Chain A
Amino acid sequence: MDVKLVNPFINAFTAVLPQMGFPTPERTGMSVKEKTINSLGITVLVGFTKEIRGNVCYNMSEDTAKFIASTMMMGMPVETFDEMAQSAISEMSNMLTATAATNLTALGKEVDISTPSLSVGEDFQIKIAPGQFLVVTMDIGGHVVEINIAVE
C-alpha cells in the first residue's frame, strides 16, 4: 500500500490530541505487517470508503485508554474502563478518523467514515486486510497507541 496515505492519519493524531489537552504525540515507530494484529486490550475499528477503501484500527492497553478518557474529561479520574470511558475512546477515534478524512480530501482522496466499533478483551486478534498493512506507534506522554492502517 501507498505509504503517503499514512501521513493524513499521523497528522490527524498530532493535530487533534494537543487541542484536547494531551502532550504532543510523538511517532516512535512505523512498520509493515501482515495477517493479524494482536489486541493490546482495547481496539477501535473504523472503516472508510469512497475514493479509497480501507480500515483503521486504534490499538491500546486499558491503562492507556483510561488515561485518554480521563484527559478528555478534563482530568476526571477514570478508575474502571466503564461505559463513559468507552464512549470517550470511541469519540476520540471518531474525531481522529474524521480529521484524517479531511486530510485525505486535501490529497484528492475523498472518503466517508463509518461509526467506530470498540472491542475489549484479554485475548483476541484482528484482521483488517487480506495482505499487508501499516503500523504506526505513537507515544503520548509515555502511553502508546498503535495505529494500524489498511487500504485496499
Chain B
Amino acid sequence: MMIKSMLAKTNFEVCAEAETAVQAIDLYAKFRPDVVTMDMNLPDTDGIECSRRIHAMDSRCKIMMVSAMKDAKLIMHGRLAGISAFLQKPINTNELIDTLMVLCQNNIEANIIYRESYVPTYAKILQDSLMEIAGISSDIEITANQEGSIIVEGIAVVIGVVGEPRGRVIFHMGKDTMKAFANAVLGRDRSYDADEDEAQATVEETSNIIAGHAISKINDIIKDREMRLTPPGLIFGSRIKFSSPELTTFCIKAKTEIGDIYMNAGFARSV
C-alpha cells in the first residue's frame, strides 16, 4: 500500500498487486512487470520462496525485497533465490526510486558492453580463424538476437563459458556446409564426400579452437575478469530449437562461399 502511494507520484506504474505467492506467480506470468517489490511475509510461503519460483519462470526478473529485517543471512538466501535488491522498512520515496532506476538500467548497460567490446572481438577471431584454419574468406554480419532462440538445421557445437560473465557460445551450420568445411580444413577436394563422424569431429575441434582464441583475447583485454571454457558438446539433427531465456545473445554470421557459418554468443545477466 505504502509503496503504491509512493509510486503514484512518479513515472513508475503499478500494473498488478498480489496477496499471496500463488497470485504473485500467476500475475507475474500475465503482466511481466519490469520490477517486482516483494514482502518477506506472505500467507502461503515466504518472500524468498516466492522469488525463487518467479526467478525459475523468468531469470531476467528484477525483484526488490522490502522487509523489516535486512541481515546478511537474508541477503545471501535472497540473492540465491534471484532477488536483486534489498530495502529495509521504513523506506522513503527517494530510496525507492533510486533502487528502481538502478534495477531498470542494469540490462541496458550490460548490453552495451557486450555489443561494443565482446561481440566484435568474437567476430574478428571467427573471421581470422576461418581464413587461417580453413582458408575460407568471409563477410561478417552481427545482429542482436532479440527473441533469444535459434533454429539449427545440421550441426551445433555448444561450448560453455564460466567466469565473469558466464554464458555459452554455439557454433552452427548446415550439413553440406559442415562437410565442405571439413574438406577445407583437411585440405581435400571440395566435392569429396566426407564421412559424417569425421566432419563433425573437425567442426567440433575447430569451434573449440576459435572459442579458445576469442576467450583468451578478451581475458587479455579485460584484466580483472577471467573467462574459461567447458568441453564442447555436439548436437545434430533437423529443426533443433535452442532457447536461452536467461541470456543476452548475439548472432555472428560469417557468409562464406561454402555457406553460412554461425557463432551465437550468449551472456548471463548476472551471478
Contacts and interface: CB of A to CB of B under 8 A. Distances in A.
A binds B: yes
Contacts of A53: 230-231
A121 B237 CA distance: 9
Interface in A103-119: 112-119
Question: Which secondary structure dominates where chain B touches chain A?
Answer: strand
A49 to B, nearest CB: 5
A76 B20 CA distance: 14
Contact of B236 (A72, A74, A83, A125): A125
Interface stretch (B114-122, B138-146, B178-186, B243-251): B243-251
A86 to B, nearest CB: 5
B233 A112 contact: no
Contacts of B268: 115
Contact of A120 (B53, B59, B243): B243
A49 B233 CA distance: 13
Interface string A91-134: 11000000000000000000011111111111111111000000
A115 B231 contact: no
Contact of B247 (A74, A115, A127): A115
Given A119-B240, A120-B241, A114 B166 contact: yes
B195 to A, nearest CB: 14
B29 interface: yes
Interface string A45-88: 11111100111010000000000000011111000000110111
Given A90-B246, A121-B238, A123-B237, A115 B166 contact: yes
B242 A114 contact: no
Contacts of B238: 121, 123-124
Interface of A: 39, 43, 45-50, 53-55, 57, 72-76, 83-84, 86-88, 90-92, 112-128, 150, 152
22 contacts: A39-B237, A47-B160, A47-B233, A48-B162, A48-B230, A49-B231, A50-B228, A73-B57, A74-B53, A75-B22, A86-B245, A90-B246, A91-B57, A91-B59, A112-B228, A114-B162, A115-B160, A115-B247, A115-B268, A117-B170, A121-B241, A123-B237
